[in-house]
Structure 1
Amino acid sequence: MPLGPEISRTLDAGIRPRAEPIRRRTLVMLRWVALAGQLISILGAFWFDVGFAVVPALGAVAAGAALNLWMTANPARVTQFGATWQLVFDLAQISVLIGLTGGLSNPFALLVLAPVTMAATALQDRQTVVVGAATVLMISLAGWFAEPLQHPTLNLVMPRVLQLGHWVAILIGVVFFATYARRVASELATVSDALFATQMALAREQKLQHLGGIIAAAAHEMGTPLATIKLIAGELKDELQEALPDRLDLTEDATTLARSVDRCREIMRSMGRAGKDDLHLHAAPLPTVLDEAAEPHSERGIVIRTRLTSDLPPPILRRDPGLIHGLRNIIQNAVDFAHATVEIEAAWDRDTLTLHVTDDGPGFPPTMLGRLAEPFPVSRRSDRRPGYEGMGLGLFIARTLLEATGARLDFDNQPGGARVSITWPLDRVRADDRAALRENPRIGPESEAALTHP
């Protein structure tokens, strides 16, 4: 069963746990560092006989310290709204200090870029816009209503034209740093979501394999009691026919019981067929692994052909859940965009195993070939499934899982379709098919719970 839509719904629904946008401890620590730097700057300016409104400046520093003490005393979770107003407060506090100490002539005016950069990294778009607008407004007011610095022998006032240039530079910095930080944060979040989805896919594949083993073990363990019940039912039928020939209803009941036992055995056999593969075939020939990866897509109207092109016997591979699920996603992608056929070509020698998965669809867009390592790249359109976003999360999951098994993936276009080439060092995927089998899973309360809640 393809996991792409289910994982997408999970991510869209926000089921993945989210942390605080900015940790309270981080906000408090950074603010203490900023306040310490502000206090040192005030004392240094006072030491060098620079005249400015010292008491109001110390009051602004005290306001920041008061907020930190309040946050320390009230350790509540920081929300998007809470982080936004704290960053706006920091902007206001810095802007007041800049206005009291020369305005745009103050070289520390660039520090107003710090809150908007933090907002672009950690907050949502709306909150980032709010912080950015507050930055532009407050630095403009600080420059307009600035109190000039005084010194007995030096002129510390920057010419108006340079102040204007400084103001423009800060505005450009707000836009540039916010956009750059936002882009980087967005890409990191995308990769994080994709890796989370990969973990979900692999965990489910492993769970299904374990569940298959439990079912196979259950079928094996119940075989003997079911056979005993059928034997006793047959003997009861014969004895009832001899002892009570007039009680045909009892004979029919015994016959029904025997048929029900046969039905139970058929059900357990069908449930345990795949489970036995998972339980016993920890190693399987290459064709078997390829058939298992392609099987969920074999009835979707596309012909899937497997071709082996080596003179050596097929290698025995480990039935690794990550390898099988990764191949399944590659094949699913080919089936999604194929017109009629998908071909899986396998070649190997004593050191290397190579698979080529080729479809007869429209191929990869040339502009997209360099981005297939990224999660959620530009979509590849399908004529068979209009609007389908087929070249995003599923392919990223496949690449991540297969590379974890030692594979190297290459994507290109062949005449008439797209091709994915997967190459392994054979030692990374080869298994010892003569190793002893592991024990069957025990059938107990935990196994019954797994069968009830797959």
Structure 2
Amino acid sequence: VRGVLALCPARPRWLLIPEQAQQLDTLARQIAIALERVHYVEVAQRAVVEMESERLRNALLGAISHDVRTPLTALIALAESLQTLPPEEHTEAARAIVTQAHALHALVSNLLDMARLESGVAGGTVNLRRDWQSVEEVVGAAIRAARPALRGMVVQTAWDPELPLVEFDAVLIERVLVNLLENAAKYGAAPIEVGARAEAGTLVLTVRDHGPGLPAALHGREQTLFDKFTRGEAESATPGVGLGLAICRAVVSAHGGEISAANARDGGAEFTVTLPRREPPEPAEAQL
């Protein structure tokens, strides 16, 4: 029983007229059909949500089972080998431990960042700490943070020396650039180019590599790269769970911007971030 329909007729005697009773019965049936439709739409929506949650859960478990287990297994093996290796080989083993620890740290950071951003989106807003930032400083900080993943790859920068201050969350935008640099290091080739330019009402950031470019299978649907647990090569031996670009899109969208991916004209993949901007405030005049 979905509900009870109660009638309070102004003229009760009219209910004795067969046509009136038939009309009321027809209206009651239409109301009942509408309520049933609403009910089953909700049931279908819940089923879709449950199916999507199950799909994401399976994708997460499948990715983590490999990409967390691999560095953990390597760390355990390297740590145990320190007991038997001669002292002159300890330095190389320690360097390998640091490399695997960085890989595990990057994976866990992406998982935590995605959870934080998703909880913010679910609540309606992502908590942004906007402030007027120097784009050059944020790009430089991102390159320094991505240095372990870059493994000595050359990174070239190009921007207008008169680039204005831009208002955004420096920590989150730095995270976007770090993820794009790590992605370029994984799937591209040197040199990696980072560009920044100010256009009318927008700031455009680009990260481009000189590798093979995006897979041919993604032609025309490049935006799927930014879906959670999606990777350019599904069976790639390159470690990762497909969260880095999803985090980039979540952060850029929270700033009201857009992110896109395409093959560069003369080879390689290029990712473009477009952020809205306004003119920075005039510096306050010193009071005499």
What is the TM-score of this pair, normalised by structure 2? 0.51
Aligned counterparts, 1:240-259, within 5 A: none
335 and 435 in structure 1: CA distance in 2 versus 1, 3 angstrom threshold: farther
Q: Output the CA distance in 1 between the equivalents of 2:112 and 2:210.
A: 32
Aligned counterparts, 1:68-217, within 5 A: 183-187=51-55, 197-200=113-116
Letter in 2 for 1:377: T
Q: Output the CA distance in 1 between the equivalents of 2:196 and 2:282.
A: 20
Aligned counterparts, 1:181-330, within 5 A: 183-187=51-55, 197-200=113-116, 283-298=132-147, 300-308=151-159, 310=160, 313-318=162-167, 320=169, 321-330=171-180
Q: Greater share of strand residues, 1 or 2?
A: 2
The 4+ residue runs of structure 1 with deviation greater than 6 A are: 190-196
Alignment of 1:419 onto 2:287: no
State which of 183, 195, 206 in structure 2 corresponds to 1:356.
206
Shift of 1:367: 2.5
Q: Output the CA distance in 1 between the equivalents of 2:269 and 2:143.
A: 17
Aligned counterparts, 1:362-373, within 5 A: 362-368=212-218, 369-373=222-226
Instruction: Show the counterpart of 1:399.
Output: 249
Shift of 1:323: 1.9
Shift of 1:394: 1.1
314 and 190 in structure 1: CA distance in 2 versus 1, 3 angstrom threshold: farther
* Secondary structure, counterpart of 1:377 in structure 2: coil
283 and 305 in structure 1: CA distance in 2 versus 1, 3 angstrom threshold: same
Contact 2:176–2:248 under 8 Å retained in 1:
yes
387 and 334 in structure 1: CA distance in 2 versus 1, 3 angstrom threshold: closer
Alignment of 1:334 onto 2:202: no
Shift of 1:432: 4.5
Letter in 2 for 1:354: V
Tell me which structure has the larger Cα radius of gyration.
Answer: 1
Q: Greater share of helix residues, 1 or 2?
A: 1
Shift of 1:354: 1.0
Higher relative contact order (CA 8 A, sep 6+): 2
Where do 5+ consecutive residues of structure 1 fail to align?
A: 1-32, 37-117, 123-179, 204-281, 437-454
Greater Cα offset, 183-192 or 282-291: 183-192
433 and 296 in structure 1: CA distance in 2 versus 1, 3 angstrom threshold: farther
User: What root-mean-square deviation, in Å, do the aligned CA atoms of Structure 1 and Structure 2 show?
Assistant: 4.5
287 and 374 in structure 1: CA distance in 2 versus 1, 3 angstrom threshold: same
Alignment of 1:388 onto 2:239: yes
**TM-superposition CA deviations, 1:222-242 (whole Å, max 9, x none):** xxxxxxxxxxxxxxxxxxxxx
Contact 2:60–2:229 under 8 Å retained in 1:
no
* Secondary structure, counterpart of 2:162 in structure 1: coil
Count of residues paired in the alignment = 186
382 and 187 in structure 1: CA distance in 2 versus 1, 3 angstrom threshold: closer
* Secondary structure, counterpart of 2:240 in structure 1: coil
**TM-superposition CA deviations, 1:347-380 (whole Å, max 9, x none):** 2134221111101222221323241231111443
408 and 435 in structure 1: CA distance in 2 versus 1, 3 angstrom threshold: farther
Where do 5+ consecutive residues of structure 2 fail to align?
A: 4-42, 62-109, 120-130
Letter in 2 for 1:371: T
What is the TM-score of this pair, normalised by structure 1? 0.34
Aligned-pair identity in percent equals 25
Instruction: Show the counterpart of 2:28.
Output: none
Alignment of 1:376 onto 2:232: no
